[in-house]
Amino acid sequence: FLDSADLEAAQQAARSLPVGDRPEDPDALAERARDAEAAQEPEFALRLLAEALSVSDTPELWAQSARVGLAMADGGAQEAAGALQAATNAYLRSDDPALRARTLDLMALALERLGRGEAAVQALRLATGTAPDAGLEARLAQLEAQYGFRVIDHDIESDGPRPRICVRFSDPLVAAGTDYTGYLGIAADGLSVTPEGDRLCLAGVSHGTRYRLTLRAGLPAASGETLSRSVEIAAYVRDRPPTARFPGQGYVLPAHGEVALPIVGINLPEVALVLRRISDRNLVRTLREDLFAGPVPQYRQDIFESEISEVVWRGHATLGVELNSDVTTRLPLERQTGPLEPGVYALQARVPDTDPYDTPMATQWFVVSDLGITTLEGADGLHVFVRSLATTGPLEGVELTLISQANAILGAVYTDAAGRANFGPGLMQGTGSMECG
């Protein structure tokens, strides 16, 4: 737990001891230092101990110097570093287990003040192994709770269909090759245990259930440290929050058929719906705003409502519910809205009585049309094929318009008897704002 810089600093502290012309008896100097310490004069006590050490380089004097340095009321990093050097010298010079344990305790105090809590834990572990002591054991338990390999927190991942309990540790776990199941005690069957970085995750738990688990002492970290004592955790896996989502990216629905869309609800008996239509003139802007065929962020919802779309219908729909399961319900829109004109639509679903920033709205884009369009681009330009969604046959005489990025008309053509039309290669060569949109 000490690095080469610590050892070099300790050696330098020993080499820099003062050399006096009239050395006094070191025992007398040590006694005077104790008197100075009792009189609240730690700086004077340290000077006396330095003189004593220049005469007698004993571990007891170094340990006394470390203790005095740590006892300074206004001691900062410099004093703590000096105490660490003194304690290191005491340890290196001693062969008495009891004294070594005391100097390791002093090292731990100095290391903790220097912000090196993990090293302080290792120092105290060595101390308790050198000379077992109840006081040292209590100090070690306190430091391990603060700085050692320990349980930090636990998370309950209950929003998804397969909930998990994940326990977070202070250090990364062993990524592979260690079976953590034996370090876990829980009254449940069929659980799988997986280490993920600094987390240990338990899958196979159930929604709406309370669990009590024990992480047993000895559970290893990747660093080689182990959990010093068992830890009990009480966890409640709550039911999934009410949620609505659409399962598809987008749909093209026939203009002369029934318009119906699927929606997935989770623990949600009713959903609030708004159907919006995007006019042809706003399609380019919708694409540029990166809103088309995707979710509408709540912070852009105002613009989407006031400048891009128009409301066709508002209402509610009843959804099927199976506790904590994804339930798909078919929404027959035309029964509520009446026949929908051809165009681009966005159906937005919201969980009632929730903040949309906490529970964002789901958005389903779809197109109502009788035209099924396929495009192919090659060296001879852009080929467009148009067929009827109702009959699947080719459509003749359909006007097609090619639009640039600047929303300018690049060209217009009509489909032939095969439902085919072609935009020449020259129209496809534009750059910048004149590039084909």
Q: Is the pLDDT of residue 198 over 60?
A: yes
For position 209, what pLDDT does the model report? 95
> If pLDDT is split at 50, 70 and 90, which confidence band does 169 have?
very high
> If pLDDT is split at 50, 70 and 90, which confidence band does 199 have?
very high
Q: Do 114 and 207 fall within a single domain?
A: no
Nearby residues of 24 by Cβ (< 8 Å), 6 or more positions away: 51, 52, 55
Q: How far is CA 177 from the centre of its chain?
A: 25
Q: Do 168 and 216 fall within a single domain?
A: yes
Q: Do 253 and 328 fall within a single domain?
A: yes
Does 194 or 33 have the greater pLDDT score? 194
> If pLDDT is split at 50, 70 and 90, which confidence band does 179 have?
very high
Q: Is the pLDDT of residue 305 over 90?
A: yes
For position 63, what pLDDT does the model report? 84
For position 136, what pLDDT does the model report? 86
Of 369, 384, 417, the domain-final residue: 369
Does 285 or 220 have the greater pLDDT score? 220
Of 343, 369, 395, the domain-final residue: 369
CATH number of the domain where residue 298 is located: 2.60.40.10
Does 311 or 128 have the greater pLDDT score? 311
Does 6 or 328 have the greater pLDDT score? 328
Q: Do 86 and 174 fall within a single domain?
A: no
CA distances from 76 to 81, 110, 123 (A): 9, 10, 20
Q: Which of 144, 368, 352, 145 is nearest to 278 (CA)?
A: 368
Q: Do 21 and 104 fall within a single domain?
A: yes
Q: Do 33 and 111 fall within a single domain?
A: yes
Lowest mean pLDDT among 22-31, 114-123, 215-224, 302-311: 22-31
Q: Is the pLDDT of residue 94 over 80?
A: yes
Q: What percent of the chain has pLDDT over 70?
A: 98
Q: Do 70 and 99 fall within a single domain?
A: yes
Query: What residue numbers bound the domain in which 157 lies?
Result: 151-237
> If pLDDT is split at 50, 70 and 90, which confidence band does 19 have?
low
Q: What mean pLDDT value characterizes the chain?
A: 88
pLDDT digits (tens, 9 = 90+) for 30-80: 777 787 777 777 777 777 777 777 778 788 888 888 887 777 756 678 888
Q: Do 71 and 186 fall within a single domain?
A: no
Q: Do 157 and 124 fall within a single domain?
A: no
Checking 119-122 for CB contacts under 8 A at 24+ apart, the result is 119/1, 119/2, 120/147, 121/147, 121/148, 122/1
What is the rounded distance in angstroms from the CA atom of residue 345 to the CA atom of residue 250? 10
Of 345, 369, 393, the domain-final residue: 369
For position 251, what pLDDT does the model report? 86
Q: Do 406 and 271 fall within a single domain?
A: no
Taking residues 390-399, report their average pLDDT. Answer: 91
CA distances from 221 to 61, 171, 263, 274 (A): 39, 6, 45, 52
> If pLDDT is split at 50, 70 and 90, which confidence band does 85 have?
confident
> If pLDDT is split at 50, 70 and 90, which confidence band does 395 have?
very high
Instruction: Tell me whether strands 250-254 and 362-369 are parallel, antiparallel or unpaired.
Output: parallel
Taking residues 115-130, report their average pLDDT. Answer: 85
pLDDT digits (tens, 9 = 90+) for 408-417: 889 999 999 9
Instruction: Find out whether 357 and 298 touch, Cβ atoms under 8 Å.
Output: yes
CATH number of the domain where residue 162 is located: 2.60.40
Determine if residue 158 is left, alpha or beta; phi over 0 gives left, psi from -120 to 50 gives alpha, anything else beta. alpha
CA distances from 202 to 70, 155, 238 (A): 45, 11, 15
